[in-house]
Amino acid sequence: MLSQAKIRFINQLSRKKIRYEEGCFIVEGNKGVKEGLEEGLTARELYVSDPSLIPFSGAEVITEKEMKKISQLTTPSDTLAVFDFPEIKDWQDADWVLALDEIQDPGNLGTIIRTADWFGFKHILCGQGTVDPFHPKVIQATMGSYARVQCHSIDLEACLQQQERTVVGADLEGVPLKNYDVPSKGVLVIGNEGRGLSSSVEKLLDTKVTIERGEGSKAESLNAAISTAVILHTISNRLSSQN
């Protein structure tokens, strides 16, 4: 049975401050929990409300009512884990990294993590003002990819200043993506959903790329996760054709 103290502890993990004090975060759903375990994350707590469906060794079986008390979801799933923060891996060896300049929507960040995972980008640098990558809604939107892509909270300006890789930003006024000569190493910077790249970050770019509009299009902008996907796809494709 779940103690009141446990319930309180898990509920408090919806707050960023507590997550960082405790060094852990919540993952809900069979698939997401499974992927965390497969990638070697340490489960501090592991609960299932339907033991027949989920053969996780070491899981504590709780009732659906208890699951509801610890779940962050409107419709709780049958699995919930509290994982320790993953061990920090060095991103400096990666050829390409993605950097986010104040992405604020948890759904967008989760989708960006999922997309980075698909295209083989293992590291995301999250500048100040970017939503916490361990926010429950972010984790949910990654569809399990949170376990394979590492997000690093950094000072984006300081990081870009020291950067030896080419730094390229997504912008409405840049080199058309089809004409962009993809270097073997780089940092792709994506700006805020509403304001785009901040001016202090823009100064540190080596180049800017633009996703070409279709003929006759009067659209003003693309969603941040959509822009990220289109550019990562282009980079990934060009790199694989260079090899």
Contact residues: its own copies, CB under 8 A: 107, 111, 114-115, 117-121, 143-145, 148, 178, 211-223, 225-226, 229-230, 233, 236-237, 240-241
Only one residue has tokens 């260079």, namely 242
Cβ atoms < 10 Å from Cβ of 217? 8
Instruction: Work out how close the CB of 148 gets to its own copies at its nearest, in angstroms, rounded to a whole number.
Output: 6
Q: What is the DSSP letter of 178?
A: G
- Select 87 or 220, whichever has its Cβ closest to its own copies: 220
Instruction: Work out how close the CB of 28 gets to its own copies at its nearest, in angstroms, rounded to a whole number.
Output: 16
Instruction: Work out how close the CB of 234 gets to its own copies at its nearest, in angstroms, rounded to a whole number.
Output: 8
Question: What whole-number distance in Å separates Cα of residue 99 and Cα of residue 156?
Answer: 8
Instruction: Work out how close the CB of 13 gets to its own copies at its nearest, in angstroms, rounded to a whole number.
Output: 24
Question: Cα torsion at 103, 105, 107, 109 (round to 10°)?
Answer: 20
Question: What whole-number distance in Å separates Cα of residue 77 and Cα of residue 191?
Answer: 33
Dihedral over Cα of 110, 114, 116, 122: its sign: positive
Instruction: Work out how close the CB of 103 gets to its own copies at its nearest, in angstroms, rounded to a whole number.
Output: 15
Compute the radius of gyration of the chain from its Cα atoms: 20
Dihedral over Cα of 162, 236, 148, 144: its sign: positive
Question: Cα torsion at 201, 205, 207, 213 (round to 10°)?
Answer: -10
Instruction: Work out how close the CB of 5 gets to its own copies at its nearest, in angstroms, rounded to a whole number.
Output: 33
Instruction: Work out how close the CB of 113 gets to its own copies at its nearest, in angstroms, rounded to a whole number.
Output: 10
- Select 17 or 178, whichever has its Cβ closest to its own copies: 178
- Select 21 or 39, whichever has its Cβ closest to its own copies: 39
Do 141 and 111 form a contact (C-beta atoms < 8 A)? yes
Question: What whole-number distance in Å separates Cα of residue 165 and Cα of residue 183?
Answer: 9
